Amino acid sequence: MAEKFHTELKHLRKETVAMAQFGRSMLKDSVDALVRQDEQLAGSVVARKGDIHLREVELEERCYQLIALYQPMAKDMRVIACTLKVITASMRIGRYGKVIANIVREIAVKPHISHTMSIPHMAELVVEMIDDAITAYETDSIELIADFSTRDDTIDALRHSIFREGITHMMEDPRTITRCTHYIMVARYLERCADHACKIAENVQYMDTGERIEIH
Amino acid sequence: MSGDGIISTTDLNLWYREKHALQSVSMRIPKNKVTALIGPSGCGKSTLLRCFNRLNDLIDHVKITGKITFDDHEIHAPGTDVVLLRKKIGMVFQKPNPFPKSIYENVSYGPRVHGVRDRETLDRIVEESLRHAALWDEVKDRISDSALGLSGGQQQRLCIARTLAVGPEVILMDEPCSALDPIATAKIENLIEKLREEYTVIIVTHNMQQAARVSDYTGFMYLGKLIECGKTVQIFEHPAEELTENYITGRFG
Ligand SMILES: Nc1ncnc2c1ncn2[C@@H]1O[C@H](COP(=O)(O)OP(=O)(O)OP(=O)(O)O)[C@@H](O)[C@H]1O
Ligand SMILES: [Mg+2]
């Protein structure tokens, strides 16, 4: 019984990692598509929306089944609790990828303003946080998430700077308003994705140590 | 552990001849709470339970060292009235063991042994005990029938009523549901929940979910040692010891 359960739990965790990486790629590709004004790549991100939703439903269902059938306790329970949160966070990250991909199609016709400002750099940092959160979940390595609070602060600072830079451009030349507003929105989505990485991190901490933490 | 301790053991050791069955067990049983003892077969749960009302005295070649106190009295002190001790600390066993007599006689037996003769008083004790054991409504019209005609679950509740009839403070239960079906088990579990208001309950169970459902505190034993004891939610959500973690997640062996 216990052995069957632990095998299933291991598979569940592996596939949750795969789903998280899938969501992370949607986000990464959407920003790449934005920067390169690659409408085809943006289209492929939008097309992945259905797939990630199916994974979400399927994996969540498996969590509930394991709870119903085995009433897991202690770390087993904490793994499942954390897995449910990882699934939700990954879905959200993937969905922000789709939202950004839609923006690409709206603003691809005209050249970028100021090379999309700090968006590529911000995206790189956010994707690194997501990667570390996923690896921490996969391999029980909480040391990877130890500095998340500081990294999250950096992300917030970048969002503010993009906001201020956008305002400056818009005041100088109202024709940039549409594009700059979109950049500001993208920065906002990226910041939300970093928050989701933090949520994963908080839950990995709970999974591994039983301790509840809050990353601001 | 928080709360008033009603029973506590200090450095308790027990040997069956050469077999060192309890090794330096120190624990405190909080009053008016349910404490569960869990652990793999042979780890000493029943032995520890039997220490609390000195039932091990009845077994040959048992040696005990250390201290056990009940209501601040050392239970091995010379002059301890063991009959009184077992009246105050009653026990319910794994297999229901009613006497082959009527339901009434089963419950009134204890009080009569302790000198209650008055019929009205006995009637009252029998009814109260059966009510407390959540059995009254099912048997009130057949109180003179043989106890052996009851179902297994009813027999177990009768045994609980029999224990309650002598006015105990503590009730020891050694796997009280292991011979029962899920519905009868649920009834006993509900009963334990109610008993907590007036009594202290210590229950040994192999069913971890049951320990989690019914108890306030849980002690995990392994190879004669008490490995960890604490609030049940803490033990099942995040135990302090890896051994406990491995046991309750079924990673043992
Ligand atoms: N009367 C006895 N004489 C000798 N050894 C005994 C006696 N009773 C128990 N033991 C031994 O002491 C150890 C603890 O036994 P105990 O019955 O307390 O375990 P337990 O935790 O209740 O196990 P189970 O879950 O199987 O009921 C076991 O190794 C057992 O074999
Ligand atoms: Mg036993």
CATH number at residue B120: 3.40.50.300
Rounded to two decimals, what is the model's pTM?
A: 0.86
- Reading the block at residue A111, the tokens are 């050249």
Q: Hey, which residues does A189 pair with through a beta bridge? A: none
- Angle of helix A2-36 relative to helix A39-47, nearest 10 degrees, comes to 150
Closest Cα to residue B221, out of B234, B235, B209, B210? B235
Assigned CATH class of A2-209: mainly alpha
- How far does residue A200's CA lie from ligand 2's centre (Å)? 43
- Tell me which residue in B237, B244, B250 faces A2 most closely, judged by beta carbons: B250
CA distance A18 to A11: 11
Mean pLDDT, 10 residues at a time, over chain B (253 residues)? 79 97 97 97 96 93 96 94 95 94 97 94 96 94 96 95 96 93 91 94 95 96 97 95 94 76
Its domain, for residue B123, covers 5-248
Interface predicted TM-score (ipTM) of this complex, two decimals: 0.77
Q: Give the closest ligand to the alpha carbon of residue B50.
A: 1
pLDDT of residue A3: 86
Tokens representing residue A112 in the block: 């970028």
Model pLDDT for residues A85-128, shown as the tens digit of each residue: 999 999 999 999 999 999 998 887 778 877 788 899 999 999 99
- Please indicate if any CB of chain B lies within 8 Å of the CB of A109: no
Is the model's pLDDT at A139 over the cut of 50? Answer: yes
Mutate to test the pocket of ligand 1, among B22, B37, B45 (most ligand atoms within 8 A of CB): B45
Min distance B218 CA to chain A CA atoms (Å): 14
Residue B243 inside a domain? The answer is yes
Q: Which of A3, A6, A75 to mutate to test the interface with B (most CBs of B within 10 A)?
A: A75
Instruction: Starting from the CA of residue B48, give the closest ligand.
Output: 1
Q: Within a domain: residue B253?
A: no
Q: Using a 6 Å CB cutoff, which residues line ligand 1?
A: B 16, 19, 21, 39, 41-47, 59
The answer to whether residue B86 sits within a structural domain is yes
The answer to whether position B41 is within a domain reads: yes
Inter-chain residue contact A6 with B250, CB threshold 8 Å: yes
Residues B13-39 pLDDT 10s: 999 999 999 999 999 999 999 999 999
Q: Pick from B213, B249, B251, B252 the residue to mutate for testing the A interface (most A CBs within 10 Å).
A: B249
Number of structural domains (chain B) is 1
Task: Classify B204 as helix, strand or coil.
Answer: strand
Q: What is the domain partition of chain A in residue ranges?
A: 2-209
